Amino acid sequence: MSASLYLALVHYPVLNRQGEKICSAITNLDIHDIARSCTTYGTKGFFVVTPSEDQQALAHRVIDHWLTGAGAKFNPDRKRAFEQIQVVNSIQEAISSIDVSRERLGVFATSARRTVDCTSWEKFEKIVYNSEFECILLLFGTASGLHEECFMECDGIICPIYGPTNYNHLSVRSAVAITLDRISGIRRQ
């Protein structure tokens, strides 16, 4: 049995390039592409996390366009992807929105920065498919990544994504797609 997956795109608290805690801006492309990846890989929910009322209003305008506006008629497939998005104030609100006890919910952060005890991709796939967790919430940071206080909510931090080079600066949209593909359980022959 595999755990149900949820994803949170965190805009606060995240880091700027100087390592300071900030609230980053929502981008239309992130919402679009991540919603489509989540729908393709069957996640149960996609949270956009920001306490900024202005940024929440922007997110709702984008989402509403595809759910009830002209976009819903223009592209029904995009509408389907947008149906699972929830805009929330905090990571804690996202956790509370998932209908499972905290003991049965695993919260895992992603990071481009290597941490001492990060969870390997192989181990994380086993956690998803063979664990005591009923649901797993994956946290993805915007800007220059999640602030350290986010890690206090987590049961683990997944090791960074590396390709064949030492360059490690993926867009969050790409990191989400790669992560979902790595843990999808689908094996190509």
Separation CA 72–CA 36 (nearest Å):
14
Q: Residue 90's domain is classified under what CATH number?
A: 3.40.1280.10
In this prediction the pTM is: 0.95
**In the chain, % of residues over pLDDT 90:** 87
Does a structural domain hold residue 102?
yes
Contacts 24+ apart (CB under 8 A), 57-63: 58/26, 59/26, 59/31, 59/85, 59/87, 60/87, 62/26, 62/28, 62/31, 62/32, 63/31, 63/87
Cα 128–chain centre separation: 15
Does a structural domain hold residue 49?
yes
Separation CA 10–CA 8 (nearest Å):
6
Does a structural domain hold residue 118?
yes
- List, for residues 53-96, the tens digit of each pLDDT value: 999 999 999 999 999 999 999 998 899 999 999 999 999 999 99
Q: Which pLDDT score is estimated for 189?
A: 32
Does a structural domain hold residue 92?
yes
Q: Which pLDDT score is estimated for 34?
A: 98
Which stretches of 21-174 are assigned E, i.e. beta strand? 21-22, 45-49, 85-88, 105-110, 135-141, 156-158
Q: Which pLDDT score is estimated for 172?
A: 97
Does a structural domain hold residue 40?
yes
Does a structural domain hold residue 105?
yes
Domain count across the chain: 1
The two structure tokens encoding residue 137: 């919430």
The residues, ordered by sequence, that sit 6+ positions from 73 with a Cβ below 8 Å of its Cβ are none
Q: Which pLDDT score is estimated for 186?
A: 57
Separation CA 160–CA 138 (nearest Å):
13
Does a structural domain hold residue 187?
no
- List, for residues 119-165, the tens digit of each pLDDT value: 999 999 999 988 789 999 999 999 999 999 999 989 999 999 999 99
Name the average pLDDT for the chain. Answer: 94
**CA angle 19-143-138, nearest 5°?**
105
Full domain range(s) for residue 70: 4-182
The residues, ordered by sequence, that sit 6+ positions from 131 with a Cβ below 8 Å of its Cβ are 3, 106
Is the confidence at residue 185, as pLDDT, over 80?
no
Does a structural domain hold residue 109?
yes
For the residues 106-116, what does the mean pLDDT come to?
Answer: 93
DSSP 115: -
